[in-house]
């Protein structure tokens, strides 16, 4: 491991519980095996207190300092973030709409020397993430806006039920709300071969409560999640304080950028890189 990577891990990560500084060592392999088992059985793994206690206040303060730079646009969406389609059957879950009220701070507004900026760029962290998801490697997203984001949910708003466009998601709560803002998910409700529209519809219409799991998440907890196949949301935030979370976006191939339409939806702007890039074909036929 290079010296800078070692310094970042020593400064940011609770090394006694999460030995990222010793990749391939017995404790590292034991941790990776644990994460893999949980991802297989429940689609999600939470590593509590991943960020060292000495860095947690800095983590929260830095993300709060950039939160005012989030692009905010409440919009009506469906679970797939697709346009209305009258050709779909009347009972299709895509016809059920919700209000999306979360906002995103783009990567170009997050200092690279912040806790999340250092962690995102860290080779040991990236190597650990790849191993947890059973991948030979993961790459920082080439997208200058969506590679690293702070997700902001103001009081009275929520991030409604949705699926992620990536097969794997890495995130971390950096500020808890006074109430609400719970992470809820339905593990592996669909697969690359089947959408399972009936179960998705049941959850959206509150008939599928038995499928819903709720996770307690606190600042500094690392969450690894298969969000492509697990329906999930953050419930409505209450009280006077917003919920903040960092989203670390990696890809299995280098050079990946978001589409212009999706980028404009999330950040209110696109860059020349987005307009020049062609969208890579999906490996599955799922609705987004």
Q: What is the radius of gyration, based on Cα positions, of the chain?
A: 18
Output the DSSP codes for 22-91: STTSHHHHHHHHHHHHHHHHHSEEEETT-B-HHHHHHHHHHHHHHGGG-B---EEEETT-----TTS-TT
Q: Which of 40, 52, 16, 20 is nearest to 224 (CA)?
A: 40
pLDDT tens digits, 76-114:
999 998 999 999 999 999 999 999 999 999 999 999 999
Tokens of 191: 């697969």
pLDDT at 166: 81
DSSP structural state of residue 21: T
pLDDT at 202: 96
What order do you get walking across the sheet with 44-47 strand by strand?
44-47, 222-225, 169-175, 243-248, 148-153, 103-105
pLDDT at 208: 84
pLDDT at 278: 55
Output the DSSP codes for 169-202: EEEEEEE--SEE--EEEETT-S-SS---HHHHHH
- Average pLDDT, 10 consecutive residues per value, the chain (288 residues): 71 95 95 96 95 96 98 93 93 96 96 96 96 96 95 97 90 97 95 95 92 95 94 97 97 89 90 78 66
pLDDT at 1: 43
Q: 3-class SS at 232?
A: strand
Output the DSSP codes for 106-162: -GGGS-TTSHHHHHHH-HHHHHHHHHHTT-S--EE-S-TTTSEEEEEE-TT--EEEE
pLDDT at 182: 96
DSSP structural state of residue 13: B
Tokens of 51: 């960020």
Q: Domain 44-108+136-276 belongs to what architecture?
A: Sandwich (2.60)
């Amino acid at each position: 491991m290079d010296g800078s990577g070692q310094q970042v891990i020593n400064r940011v990560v609770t090394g006694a519980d999460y030995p990222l500084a010793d990749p391939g060592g017995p404790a590292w392999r034991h941790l990776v095996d644990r994460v893999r088992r949980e991802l297989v059985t429940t689609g999600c793994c939470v590593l509590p207190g991943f960020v060292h206690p000495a860095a947690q206040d800095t983590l929260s303060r830095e993300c709060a300092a950039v939160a005012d730079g989030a692009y905010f646009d409440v919009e009506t969406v469906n679970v797939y973030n697709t346009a209305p389609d009258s050709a779909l059957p009347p009972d299709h879950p895509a016809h059920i709409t919700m209000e999306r009220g979360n906002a995103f701070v783009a990567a170009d507004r997050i200092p690279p020397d912040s806790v999340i900026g250092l962690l995102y760029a860290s080779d040991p962290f990236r190597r650990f993430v790849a191993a947890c998801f059973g991948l030979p490697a993961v790459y920082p997203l080439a997208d200058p806006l969506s590679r690293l984001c702070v997700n902001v949910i103001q009081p009275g708003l929520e991030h409604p039920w949705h699926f992620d466009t990536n097969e794997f998601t890495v995130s971390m709560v950096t500020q808890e709300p006074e109430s609400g803002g719970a992470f809820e998910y339905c593990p592996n409700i669909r697969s690359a071969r089947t959408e399972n529209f009936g179960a998705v519809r049941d959850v959206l219409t509150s008939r599928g409560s038995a499928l819903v799991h709720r996770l307690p998440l606190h600042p500094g907890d690392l969450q690894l999640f298969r969000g492509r196949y697990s329906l999930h949301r953050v419930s409505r935030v209450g009280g006077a304080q917003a919920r903040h979370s960092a989203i670390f976006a990696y890809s299995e191939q280098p050079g990946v950028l978001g589409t212009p339409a999706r980028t404009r939806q999330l950040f209110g702007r696109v860059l020349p890189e987005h307009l020049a890039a062609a969208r890579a074909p999906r490996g599955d036929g799922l609705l987004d």
